[in-house]
Structure 1
Amino acid sequence: MCAMLDLSALTDPIPLARRLIQAPSVTPADAGALDVLSEALEALGFVCTRFRFEEVDNLYARLGKAAPVFCFAGHTDVVPPGDEAAWSRGPFEAEIADDVLWGRGASDMKGAIAAMVAAVARHLQASGEPAGSIAFLITGDEEGPAINGTKKLLKAVTDKGERFDHCLVGEPTNPHHLGDTIKVGRRGSLNGVVTVTGQQGHVAYPEKAENPIPVLIDFLNRITAHTLDEGAPHFQPSNLEVTTIDVGNAPHNVIPAKATAKFNIRFNTAHTGDGLKQWLREQAIAAEQGFFGDFDLDLTVTGDAFLTETGPFTDLLRAAVKEQTGHDPALTTGGGTSDARFIKDYCPVAEFGLVGETMHQVDERVPVSDVTRLAAIYADVLQRYFKTFA
């Protein structure tokens, strides 16, 4: 099999994209996806090292020993297909029909990983060994808890002396057309669970009970009525959303003992996770004044907001996208979180990949022409990168 993966064969991303999709790597299973990728990278001369953290497999690969180090980052794990009977074509068959590649992971983001490999093959074919190094940082835990993936992988490889100068993540950043959007930052995310515990009792004798519901309502009113900000440069306003309120009290004549709620804050660079935690604790203290039960606030920041400043790196990314697509991409920060939130602590990072209209949906798919054009964009990025920074 390795003999078939010569340099010229790997300049076409579609065969590799199909092989990756055919590996049913639903988080946290790898199902052979990283074996397929390692085989292709080793055929290009990369040194591949696997890192396993608990049930998650991860891959680090590097070609070259000199600086600067340009890193491609992404994930081979995918979300479950859902009802497979609802798919027009099998979610792991990687069928091509009417010049469209179908399958789970086609857009998010096995198609982009295949384009990265094809881009390296094209760069080596056109220019020989890079004037620096190219690395791949690939996890199997992006769609899962993101505990045993990129975060631990970064620490492991940097503890061994690896360093990165810039990183490009292949998330499907484009909303409608290839070339729409480059992500140069992400909002932060904070999850909150509030549990108020009082004293159950009869509604006719409230003095013998301690109702947790008014305290919970007071707290939620305080945090939802507050305007977090009006936005920040390159960022939309932060938003707080209550996602569930649970009491589970069926009778009309019983004051419940406990009430809980969950909420999420997506925040921009006007805030830090620690700052929002402090504000929420202050609102909790105000809401529980005069309450004789327990008020528990469980807060978890899954990532702080960050922004990669515009400059030579973002300029060359925009130039490559415009050259290959004719579109001048917007530099944005919208959407959810990604593993870029971990990478930004090690080097400047941006994100650009395929169109994400069908990601995580039944019948996930992407035009074959988009995958091949993405490979051309990534190859253009490599050419410009080493001319700019080497």
Structure 2
Amino acid sequence: MASINSGDHIWHPFTQMKTAAAPIHITKAKGCILYDANGNEYIDAVSSWWVNIHGHSNEIIANAIAEQAKLLEHVIFAGFTHSPAIKLSEQLIGILPNYFSKIFFSDDGSTSVEVAIKMALQYWHNQGHQHKTKIIAFENAYHGDTFGAMSAGDKSTFNAAFEKLLFEVAHIPTPNANNIHLLKKQIDELAKEDTVAAFIFEPLVQGSGGMLMHEAKYLDELITYCHQKNIICIADEVMTGFGRTGKNFAIEYLTNQPDIICLSKGITGGFLPLGVTVASQKIFDAFYADEKEKTFYHGHSYTANPLACAAANASLELLLNNKCQQQIKFIEEKHKAFANSIRTNEAVKDVRQQGTIIAIEFKTKEDTSYFSSVRNKLYQFYLSKGVLLRPLGNIVYILPPYCITEEELNKVYDAIIQSTELVKSEL
């Protein structure tokens, strides 16, 4: 029997398979370092799509999964429950603002958003307000790749093939001192017939949109105004949750809380897929009834998988210990210093930083774009320096595991500084 290249049958995500370079075969990883089949090392400065918050092959999380696997690997979650899910729900409610009370489990970030949108729409339906079906979202939003999540996201090349099939969503700019009054007028116009069901947003940082950032003060004002207009507010914290913005959750910077929160990515420390949608008691109460038609008919085969919940419980305990919290502060301070040092570089258009997230927007001949011609050159340059960074077009961001060392972080910064010469040559 002929040998088969194991990669020949794989269709990779966000990849034009005809023109893409061959994928790098990773054989193992530890801490912040990825090791490939040729013996090369790469600092994982993007936490493998933002999921790995404690470093790779963390023994505490690995052991928690192994111990759970010996007891219970999975059980249907309709009509049954288990200790890892109970513990995780209690841990999450314990560290979230006390406005929230119920946890609904799913599989990933996109499904946690689907759940939130369906909750918001059925919330109004269950109360006889079937006319409240409109959704408001931010421009440049990204909420996932399933149909509801795509609808809430900004229209782009990524979802152009499905545009006619997506439901209508009104997109408004992110708030600032100059436009907050105009945004309120826009909401007035959208809500004048009381048809808006929900406002969904990525709090403080829009990840895939280019690590675009807005102030908590004006987001707070917008949430207050939406609540006054009888609009449910949904915070998509899939990327910002679990310490990324400097606090456990970005909503901790807010005075006024959303009604629903979407969580995923860092929840299991990057070990297993898991999505969570957190609802306030007000939302839950609209489904708590004698009428069967008011049931929330949504579920996944792997809902609240015990192994994923065990990983999440271990990851949360690591996140909340003093060592990890100090590491988050260390990364934040290092990023601030780096931002100040590179801001004046002639290749740099803008620098944005929030907590452990920093984004450097490079100058290019064309407008800022995910498809900027400099993107692939930067990506390959960083790999050649032993650093994994995935530029969003001409925007390079660092979102590292919290265990990253000062030496590793400096190596990442150095690679970005060196890449400014490449950028200048393209101008």
After TM superposition, the score normalised by the length of structure 2 is 0.24
**Structure number with higher relative contact order (C-alpha < 8 Å, ≥ 6 residues apart):** 1
When normalised by structure 1's length, the TM-score is: 0.26
Of Structure 1 and Structure 2, the greater helix share is in 2
